[in-house]
């Protein structure tokens, strides 16, 4: 058992707890990779079916150094929000995705991403389309394989000019990175960044990264200093 993680404030602990709870909702056996250093913690997870890597960060009280993969559920159980700390459980064998994470640096901004309201609207239309097409299937074709095919076709569509698949926005909304309209007194700013074959949809509440088939040179990006 490693030493506890000490968060800078209760809100940081609460944010990580909310993220873990959503991951566990989709997969009770979910694992997360933790990387800590420089006064910050990054938690990486991969919710099933979305085919993305989600990242939630938090400020730490000290410069703890850590790189391990653990059970998301056990880590969630070990978070004490009022005490601003988390007990890190014993490591687990990392799933394949945990060995291929988005890069830490070298990110550049990709222009053309719709605003938060447009992203939500696109997700809502896609969900409605899936339901309509599912209901229109004849009984003999209403199989898991056919539904998966429809889902892949819909969620693989990209936002024009960006290469970002629709499933990334769906994941961001489902994981709480893109709160519903009206949930906050302001609209959530969103940005799209690229590094090599990776694209990252970033909001103040977390990021969703996808590995694309295209390289950075094919995206038409403009430089932006990585935060």
Residues 116 and 64 in one domain: no
Residue 224 lies in a domain: no
Q: Do both 122 and 159 map to the same domain?
A: yes
pLDDT for the residue 224: 28
The reported pLDDT for the residue numbered 214 is 53
pLDDT in tens, 1-39: 678 999 999 999 999 999 999 999 999 999 999 999 999
Helix or strand (DSSP H, E) at 133? helix 116-136
> Would the pLDDT of 80 be above 90?
yes
Q: Percent of the chain beyond pLDDT 70?
A: 93
pLDDT at 220 over 60: no
Whether 223 is in a domain gets the answer no
8 Å CB contact between 201 and 176: no
Residue 1: what pLDDT? 60
Q: Is 178 exposed, middle or buried (0-12, 13-18, 19+ CB in 10 A)?
A: buried
Average pLDDT, stretch 68-81? 97
- CA 209, CA 101: separation in Å to the nearest integer? 9
Do 52 and 16 fall within a single domain?
yes
Residue 198 placed within a domain: yes
Write down the mean pLDDT value for the chain: 91
Question: What is the pLDDT at residue 126?
Answer: 97
Residue 86 in domain: yes
Cβ-proximal residues to 77 (8 Å cutoff; 6+ apart), any chain: none
Cα(31)–Cα(55) distance, integer angstroms = 13
Q: How does pLDDT run across 105-118, given as a tens digit for each residue?
A: 999 999 999 999 99
The reported pTM is 0.89
Question: What integer pLDDT is reported at residue 45 of this predicted model?
Answer: 98
For residues 162-167, average pLDDT: 96
The residue segments making up the domain with residue 42 are 5-99
The tens digit of pLDDT for each residue in 168-218 reads 999 999 999 999 988 888 999 999 999 999 999 999 999 999 998 654 333
Q: Report the number of distinct structural domains present in the chain.
A: 2
How much is the pLDDT for 94?
A: 87
Provide the CATH number for the domain around residue 41: 3.10.150
Residue 97 has pLDDT above 50, yes or no: yes
Q: Are 32 and 42 in contact (CB under 8 A)?
A: no
Residues 125 and 82 in one domain: no
Domain boundary pick from 75, 99, 123? 99
Structure tokens at 172: 């961001």
Mean pLDDT over 109-137 rounds to 96
């Amino acid at each position: 058992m490693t030493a506890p993680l000490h968060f800078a404030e209760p809100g940081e602990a609460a944010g990580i707890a909310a993220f873990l709870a959503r991951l566990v909702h989709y997969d009770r056996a979910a694992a997360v990779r933790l990387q800590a250093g420089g006064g910050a913690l990054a938690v990486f997870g991969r919710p099933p079916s979305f085919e993305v890597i989600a990242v939630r960060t938090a400020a730490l009280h000290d410069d703890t150094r850590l790189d391990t993969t653990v059970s998301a559920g056990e880590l969630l159980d070990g978070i004490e929000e009022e005490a601003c700390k988390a007990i890190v459980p014993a490591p687990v064998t990392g799933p394949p995705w945990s060995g291929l994470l988005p890069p830490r640096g070298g990110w550049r901004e990709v222009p053309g991403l719709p605003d938060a309201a447009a992203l939500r609207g696109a997700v809502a239309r896609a969900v409605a389309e899936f339901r309509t097409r599912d209901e229109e299937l004849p009984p003999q074709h209403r199989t898991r394989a056919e539904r998966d095919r429809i889902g892949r076709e819909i969620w693989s569509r990209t936002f024009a000019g960006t290469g970002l698949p629709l499933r990334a926005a769906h994941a961001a909304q489902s994981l709480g990175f893109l709160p519903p309209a009206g949930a906050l007194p302001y609209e959530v700013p969103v940005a799209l960044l690229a590094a090599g074959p990776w694209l990252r949809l970033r909001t103040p509440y977390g990021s969703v990264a996808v590995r694309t088939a295209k390289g950075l040179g094919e995206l038409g990006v403009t430089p932006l200093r990585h935060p």
